[in-house]
Structure 1
Amino acid sequence: MAQVVVLGLSGSTDLWLVDFDAGTVTPVAPSGDSPLGQADSLRQAGATIVKGVDFAITASSASAVGGGFLD
């Protein structure tokens, strides 16, 4: 089974499909009437949606993560 997650960062309307098995990150444009599109509409209205992810953080850069400094 593929290990994928859809991510959206605060302050951006973009959504990204991250495929951990393939090592890829691809932009996603969900249709408005799909479940993902409905969830994206909630997100754009200010909701935070988390399902199946137990750890997520943002950092200012990849080097900040390596140095142990997290935003």
Structure 2
Amino acid sequence: MKARVQVMLKDGVLDPQGEAVRHALGSLGFEGVEGVRQGKVIELDLDETDPEAARAKVNEMCEKLLANTVIESYAVEVG
């Protein structure tokens, strides 16, 4: 079973990489970009066959390693 985790900085947390991308886009002539938030996507191949058990396992992985839950939020897709 495949799982996908999207990790993003929480609202209110400064995103220097996103700001650098926003600035670079403006320098390249892409006007009107008022904000950029950068995150990461993690794809997992699991041997689990039960979607709910897979989601629970991936949520635990996020809480323990994949996301810094103090400053990041995450969303899990299982399928």
TM-score class, shorter-chain normalisation, is under 0.3
Q: Return the structure number with greater relative CO, CA threshold 8 A, min gap 6.
A: 2
Give 1 or 2 for the bigger CA radius of gyration.
2
TM-score under structure 2 normalisation?
A: 0.25
Identify the structure with the greater strand proportion: 2
Identify the structure with the greater helix proportion: 2
